[in-house]
Chain A
Amino acid sequence: MAQLTFREAIARGIAQEMRRDPTVVMLGEDVAAAGGVFKGTVGLLDEFGPRRVRDTPISEQAILGAAMGAAMTGLRPIAEIMFSDFFAVCWDIVVNEIAKSRYMTDGQVSFPLVIRSGNGGGLRFGAQHSQSVENWAMMIPGLKVVVPASARDVIGLMAAAVRDPDPVVFLEAKALYPTKMDVPDGEIVDALGVARVLRNGDDATVLALGSMVPRTLAAAERLAGEGISVTVIDVRSLIPLDTATILREVARTGRLFTVEENPRVLGWGAEIAAVVSEEIFYDLDGPIVRITTPHIPLPAADALEDLAIPSVERIATTIAKALSD
């Protein structure tokens, strides 16, 4: 057991896979010599050398295009897009090339690659470096999407992503980089598409993802003090989506809340709300409530950013109010 930060877990997760499989390679801007702008890849260049850990020019299309071409010819690249907002400059490669090519070619090619990216707010970086884009990725047929919420899960889900034969978008909540936890020693390997129940309660089921997981747990703790007991589920993987766990818990508790950092419209909770409404409507005891960042670009000022992204306070009061209505 070792205390590990979320950012240190990234390097450990990647190293675990690179030691195991010589076809795993890594590329991105400032990932090698500098160890990443968020220090997520420190030490990898030293251990694996410049053949496997490569700095690139500021060429997001080339980074992801290269990852794709390498993946279809025998390598398992891990590519980094520094800030997930920048997916907008290489979205064609992600959406039209990587996501569609297996289907278009009748399965002739596979893309075992991982695209890591720093996602979301909390750093007061302003609108172009802070958006939570998990809903962009989720809506694209052909992409798998995982969002770890803890240092341990960074390692386990990174292993699952690297070993998966399909392209995986791996979103790292920037707000979580400094968070610490005890992580077991040795290899950690999870499966994609498995949600985790973090807390059991009877009054409602609350789904959270990435940076919203610790806040939701804190809100659940507060609610417990007010006599409200909620189940908290870390969704972990948007595609594949563990609807079995979600539907089971929502049916049991009768209420569903989602806590989402992405902007409201067509955020990930919208699809889950639709699935729940279609499939277990009569198990619901009240409306589904989504707690999200509003449908606005993120402001920079700390006071404003804190108002925009769901806070422990907003999560707790929204749930308490909805359950008392």
Chain B
Amino acid sequence: MTSTQTAGSTDLARQVAMYRTQVALRAFETRAYDLFLENLVKGTSHLSLGQEAIAAGVAAAMAPDDWTFATYRGHAHTLARGVPMTPVLAELLGRRNGLMRGKGGSMHLTSVTHGVMGSYAVIGSHLPIACGAAWSAQYRGTDQVAVCFFGDGTTNIGAFHEALNFAAIWHLPVVFVCENNLWMEYTRTSEVTAVAHPAADRASAYGLEPILVDGNDADAVYEVARTALARARAGQGPSLIEAETYRHGGHSRADPGTYRPDDEVEAWLARDPLPMYRARLAASGVGEDELAALEAQVADEVEEATREARAGEQPGEDLLFADVWADGGSAWRN
């Protein structure tokens, strides 16, 4: 950055970076899906295809030492904090060069050095945990904020409500981000939820402002996240953001998502966050060559990550008994 840059061009640089993040998340998730079909991604995986703008927008608003608490649908949030693709992909493949050397898998991506404090796969449980991190930041007087992502279906479990109340009464620096993709696994959330907006309509119960944002618009997400993070840092307590979006694919694995009406899928595909954002950048004067170069770079990155992940060794028995305890071992008796 040069000193002659205006605020406008700083914004544009950030927007280009957010576009790059979205392109990277799209390319990574697409590759993860292909590798799942090749039976190389083991177990399960939950993709954020279609939801990339939320991960990119929130991460762009976060400070480097802020904390992310993600779910099983957490590849995007992990990568958006700057974790390289290779260890994430290798973790999906169950390899020793994986982010957790194969011990966590797709649903538990964690990279403490990047502020990714874990991905949690029991619905709602990580909301109270994010409160605890926020409490620690408040107690120790650091400026850190905990950001906690979860789905629309998660607003109906008790831990959501316990955490919202807890965060509100202790004025904790935590930002809750509900990614409302309209669906739980195979059930439409509105069919089992008492209110129309599963997060926003609950906010007033905890003395919070309802915040609804277009989750397919990275700029809009960035703006609400920035405000919420600033509030948290200023000691004004938690925020609850509901970002409306849609997953392009099924819930997990190879689910084709056929339970969803065609017109709904089409309408949301027409609102695909990536082409919309690309067009916006082009209209703001970002050259086609710059956009194409960035896209090509990401494509190379995914190829390299795929090569490295596929070449990763299988983890061995030395890891099986490691790190149950802080002493590195697993002994339960003498």
A142 beta carbon closer than 8 Å to chain B:
yes
Question: Closest CB of chain B to A195's CB: distance in Å?
Answer: 10
A-facing residues in B104-162 (Cβ within 8 Å): 104, 108, 110-112, 117-118, 120, 122, 125-137, 139-140, 144, 146, 158-159, 162
Interface flags for B85-120 (1: CB within 8 Å of A; 0: not) read 000000000000001110110001011100001101
B270 beta carbon closer than 8 Å to chain A:
no
B-facing residues in A5-27 (Cβ within 8 Å): 25
Of B110, B133, B324, B331, the residue contacting A70 (CB under 8 A) is: B133
| Residues of A with C-beta under 8 A to B130 | 69
B-facing residues in A102-143 (Cβ within 8 Å): 102-110, 112, 141-142
A200 beta carbon closer than 8 Å to chain B:
no
Size band of the interface chain B makes with A: 35 or more
- Specify the main secondary structure of chain A where it touches its partner: mixed
Binds A, one of B163-171, B228-236, B238-246, B293-301: B163-171
Contact in complex: A110, B165 (CB < 8 Å): no
Question: Closest CB of chain A to B305's CB: distance in Å?
Answer: 19
Question: Closest CB of chain A to B327's CB: distance in Å?
Answer: 8
Of B103, B118, B144, B332, the residue contacting A103 (CB under 8 A) is: B103
Contact in complex: A62, B134 (CB < 8 Å): no
Contact in complex: B323, A103 (CB < 8 Å): yes
Contact in complex: B110, A108 (CB < 8 Å): yes
Contact in complex: B132, A65 (CB < 8 Å): yes
Interface flags for A273-287 (1: CB within 8 Å of B; 0: not) read 001000000000000
Of A64, A72, A104, the residue contacting B117 (CB under 8 A) is: A72
Contact in complex: A73, B67 (CB < 8 Å): yes
Contact in complex: A107, B323 (CB < 8 Å): yes
Q: How far is the CA of A97 from the CA of B118 in the complex (A)?
A: 10
Closest Cβ neighbor of B327 among chain A residues:
A165
Question: Closest CB of chain A to B93's CB: distance in Å?
Answer: 15
A242 beta carbon closer than 8 Å to chain B:
yes
Q: How far is the CA of A56 from the CA of B132 in the complex (A)?
A: 13
| Residues of A with C-beta under 8 A to B101 | 106
Count of interface residues, chain A, beta-carbon cutoff 8 Å: 48
Contact in complex: A69, B103 (CB < 8 Å): no
Of A25, A62, A101, A239, the residue contacting B163 (CB under 8 A) is: A62
A57 beta carbon closer than 8 Å to chain B:
yes
Interface flags for B180-217 (1: CB within 8 Å of A; 0: not) read 00000000000000000000000000000000000000
A59 beta carbon closer than 8 Å to chain B:
yes
Of B99, B135, B162, the residue contacting A59 (CB under 8 A) is: B162
A96 beta carbon closer than 8 Å to chain B:
yes
Closest Cβ neighbor of B117 among chain A residues:
A72
| Residues of A with C-beta under 8 A to B328 | 107
Given the known A-B contacts A93-B128, A243-B333, are A110 and B166 also in contact in the complex, defined by CB atoms under 8 Å? no
Contact in complex: B334, A242 (CB < 8 Å): yes
| Residues of A with C-beta under 8 A to B111 | 108
Question: Closest CB of chain B to A139's CB: distance in Å?
Answer: 10
Of B104, B122, B162, the residue contacting A106 (CB under 8 A) is: B104
Contact in complex: B118, A109 (CB < 8 Å): yes
Contact in complex: B334, A102 (CB < 8 Å): no
Contact in complex: B112, A109 (CB < 8 Å): yes
Question: Closest CB of chain B to A52's CB: distance in Å?
Answer: 8
Given the known A-B contacts A62-B166, A92-B122, A243-B334, are A69 and B322 also in contact in the complex, defined by CB atoms under 8 Å? no
| Residues of A with C-beta under 8 A to B132 | 65-73, 77
| Residues of A with C-beta under 8 A to B323 | 102-103, 106-107
Q: How far is the CA of A101 from the CA of B133 in the complex (A)?
A: 15
Contact in complex: A74, B131 (CB < 8 Å): no
Among A61, A112, A166, A193, max chain B CB count under 10 A is at A61
| Residues of B with C-beta under 8 A to A108 | 100, 110-112
Of A74, A96, A275, the residue contacting B136 (CB under 8 A) is: A74
Binding site for B on A (CB under 8 A): 25, 51, 54, 56-57, 59, 61-62, 64-75, 77, 92-93, 96-97, 101-110, 112, 141-142, 165-166, 193, 239-244, 275
Given A72-B129, A102-B324, 16 more pairs with CB closer than 8 A: A57-B169, A62-B165, A65-B128, A66-B128, A69-B131, A72-B132, A77-B132, A96-B125, A97-B122, A104-B100, A105-B104, A105-B108, A106-B101, A106-B319, A141-B330, A193-B333
